[in-house]
Chains A and B, each alone.
Chain A
Amino acid sequence: MTTRNLYHSKPAQWAVYGLFFVIIALIPAFVSDGFLLNQFAVYGIYGMLALSISLCWGFGGILNLGQGIAFGLAAYGMAMTMQMQSQDPDSNPIPPFMLNNSLEHLPWFWQPFWSTGGGILLALVVPTLFYVVFGTLMFRARVSGPFFAIMSLAMLSAFATLILDMQPYTNGANGISPPSPLSIFGTDIDPYGPTAYWIVCGGLIAVTVGAKLLTQSKFGLVIQALRGDPERVRFLGYNVALYETCIYAISGFIAALAGCLWVMLIQYVSPAQLDTTFSIGMVIWAGIGGRLSLLGAILGAFLIQGGQSYLGDQFLATWLLVLGAFFIVVVRFLPKGLAGLLEKVLGALARQPGKHARSDLPHAISGAPAAGE
């Protein structure tokens, strides 16, 4: 097993990632249809979400079924920011849906969103902070993996029902639809233009590079170690709960960023963004694409969401059934997803007869280490 598998070669990996970045950056050069561009950008968002799950679950071993908390809360924050951009403090201070709900004053927690910078900052910080608190509570208590997964799901559903029910403040099931696109430094960002696409593209590339460097750092190594044996890691001197909270919060931050960019593209948010099926869907993308491969997870999201849009509503029930069945097969036989399949194939190609660098047999027989002293 000392032969080199191309899959594990760092330069090869970066080359593939680089190629991927170039391809997605060049898309607007070939696609001029604004609607399609917007659709591709949304896939980019899904890719970011899948990546965040891969970081937390694949590398850290923390199954998070409630990633929608960060995504949804940030999306609402962004929507609130964009909504307030179209309001005027003197002539038109209150969003129309609030007037419909007989509110006379802007609620206190909407006030900070008058400021665009402040609003976006809150949209990113508040969900991340929640993750820090929730993670600290759960990880310091050393709650088991499945229990943590369920609690994340419970909190997701709690937030969803809360937002749904606070009709006057959040417009309930109807959601918030800011009337105009996001305006930054005086310019409108057309959701159907290349600028919006490149912002998302840039976000995806930045997040991917950051995440990849993170996994290659000492921090990333400790995270992978604690996935396998957290107790051993503790005995080596590392504060495991702190590391787990860090990776969980970083994953949440990425999801929050995705949420902000999503509203920039779609100009709408509703409690559906906190749907349990959607959050678990992110896990399915990462699972099928490859939870231990950042790029694998991203491509998994592209594949599944792309397939779903292509098949449309008519075949939705069948599509979901097939997806469910395929997911079962992947979990059962391909725990590392399609990326894992590639790893195996490349590994098999590397181990061709006559190319053995060293046979494992002598070690097993003698039991004694072969190196000289």
Chain B
Amino acid sequence: MTSLDIAPFANALVLGLSIASIWLIAAIGLTIIYGTVGVINMAHGEFIMLGAYTSYALQSSLGLPFLLCLPASFAVVALVGLVIERGLIRYLYNRPLDTLLATWGVSLVLMQGVRLIFGSDPKYIAVPEIFQSNVEIGFASLSVFRLVVLAITALIVAATAWLFYRTRFGMQVRAVMQNKEMAASFGINADRVYMTTFAIGAGLAGVAGSLFGVLAIVLPTMGTAYVVQAFLVVVVGGGTLMGSVAAAGLTGELQSVFAFVTNDTFARFLLYVLIVVFLRFRPRGLFAVAKGRR
């Protein structure tokens, strides 16, 4: 095969990596929340959307440079997440289906709230010129911004892994995940752990949103497009960090390859069917959360 033949396929593989990083960064906040607290947060898409609007608002009103908008979005959305956890989620921990529904209500409120405040017209987030060009990697071509997303995703995954496996806080989280009562008897404030974890998960969604606001346009409804994808990463991955990385990588590459072979839509349909079949044989996902016996 000449290099001309494998180039488009290689391009698909590289693009798959970019898609995987988008899925992963969209899902990482959700993974943390589900893995620790066991909550499926239907408002996750709206946390992403809030991150995008935060960056837009900071940029248009304060002229904040894009790279500073990222941590700012983290902080703002984390705060929103905190309020929602304290005000609602913590009363529903033993009712997983009801939490799913209550957070859907939250998503409606957030979406419509943003619509009333900012309007339904699309907004745009500006990025430095250098991010807008394309770069050649061997025979594959990718926009610089997608590389930035890839880099930031890797950074966030590393930081999250460090937080959960190398710090004292992370150990507390893992203890609470395994056995809440026992952890409490050792003096760990499970309530605080849940609250902080939820806030961090929300904040990460905010960062993802800032990035997505550049990749796509900023609309009140932008979150819904990422929600299903993010959920699937968590479902297939099983709820652990490693699981989500593996799931995002697998599904991102599969989607890109399928799209290369057929078309974009049929690729997605095929992928979802594959996931359903996969779940039949491994209902808890690739690397499921190891919960202790109750």
Which residues of A (138-158) have their CB < 8 Å from a CB of B?
A: 138, 140-147, 149-151, 153-155, 157-158
Nearest B residue to A145, CB-CB: B97
Evaluate contact between B228 and A324: CB separation under 8 angstroms.
no
CA distance A324 to B273 in the complex (A): 31
CB distance from B232 to the nearest CB of A (A): 6
CA distance A292 to B101 in the complex (A): 16
Q: Does A33 contact B (CB under 8 A)?
A: no
Decide: A146 near B275, CB < 8 A? Known: A153-B231, A320-B108, A324-B106: no
Which residues of B (79-116) have their CB < 8 Å from a CB of A?
A: 88, 91-92, 95-98, 100-102, 104-109, 111-113, 115-116
Q: Does B280 contact A (CB under 8 A)?
A: yes
Decide: A155 near B276, CB < 8 A? Known: A150-B231, A276-B224, A318-B116: yes
Evaluate contact between B224 and A150: CB separation under 8 angstroms.
no
Evaluate contact between B97 and A321: CB separation under 8 angstroms.
no
Q: Does B277 contact A (CB under 8 A)?
A: yes
Evaluate contact between B231 and A154: CB separation under 8 angstroms.
yes
CA distance A277 to B224 in the complex (A): 10
Decide: A147 near B224, CB < 8 A? Known: A138-B279, A324-B109, A331-B92: no
CA distance A154 to B97 in the complex (A): 17
A138, A142, A151, A328: residue with the most chain B Cβ atoms closer than 10 Å: A328
Nearest A residue to B39, CB-CB: A146
Chain B residues near A121 (CB, 8 Å)? none
- Give the contacting residue for A140; candidates B113, B228, B231, B280; CB below 8 A: B280
**Secondary structure call for the B interface:** helix
Decide: A151 near B276, CB < 8 A? Known: A165-B265, A318-B116: yes
Q: Does A361 contact B (CB under 8 A)?
A: no
Q: Interface 1/0s, chain B 117-129, versus A by CB < 8 A?
A: 0000000000000
B101, B106, B269, B284: residue with the most chain A Cβ atoms closer than 10 Å: B101
Q: Does B235 contact A (CB under 8 A)?
A: yes
CB distance from A223 to the nearest CB of B (A): 16
CB distance from A69 to the nearest CB of B (A): 12
Evaluate contact between B88 and A328: CB separation under 8 angstroms.
yes
Which residues of B (237-294) have their CB < 8 Å from a CB of A?
A: 263-266, 268-269, 272-273, 275-277, 279-281, 283-284
Q: Does B40 contact A (CB under 8 A)?
A: yes
CB distance from B230 to the nearest CB of A (A): 10
CA distance A164 to B275 in the complex (A): 21
Q: Does A346 contact B (CB under 8 A)?
A: no
Chain B residues near A162 (CB, 8 Å)? 265-266, 269
Evaluate contact between A327 and B104: CB separation under 8 angstroms.
yes
Chain B residues near A325 (CB, 8 Å)? 105, 109
Evaluate contact between B272 and A327: CB separation under 8 angstroms.
no
Which residues of A (277-318) have their CB < 8 Å from a CB of B?
A: 277, 280, 283-284, 287, 317-318
* B residues contacting the other copy or chain, number (CB 8 A): 43
CB distance from B250 to the nearest CB of A (A): 15
Chain A residues near B280 (CB, 8 Å)? 137-138, 140-141
Evaluate contact between B277 and A137: CB separation under 8 angstroms.
yes
Interface size class, chain A:
35 or more
Which residues of B (40-74) have their CB < 8 Å from a CB of A?
A: 40
CA distance A158 to B271 in the complex (A): 9
CA distance A151 to B265 in the complex (A): 17
Chain B residues near A153 (CB, 8 Å)? 228, 231
Q: Does A39 contact B (CB under 8 A)?
A: no
Q: Does A332 contact B (CB under 8 A)?
A: yes
CB distance from A138 to the nearest CB of B (A): 7
CA distance A63 to B96 in the complex (A): 11
CA distance A292 to B273 in the complex (A): 32
A134, A145, A147: residue with the most chain B Cβ atoms closer than 10 Å: A147
Chain B residues near A277 (CB, 8 Å)? 224
Q: Does A335 contact B (CB under 8 A)?
A: yes
Chain A residues near B276 (CB, 8 Å)? 134, 137-138, 151, 155
Decide: A158 near B269, CB < 8 A? Known: A327-B104, A332-B91: yes
Q: Which residues of B contact A (CB under 8 A)?
A: 40, 88, 91-92, 95-98, 100-102, 104-109, 111-113, 115-116, 224, 228, 231-232, 235, 263-266, 268-269, 272-273, 275-277, 279-281, 283-284
Q: Which residues of A contact B (CB under 8 A)?
A: 61, 63, 134, 137-138, 140-147, 149-151, 153-155, 157-159, 161-162, 164-165, 276-277, 280, 283-284, 287, 317-318, 320-321, 323-328, 331-332, 335
Extra pairs beyond A151-B279, A328-B88 (4, CB < 8 Å)? A140-B280, A147-B235, A287-B101, A324-B105
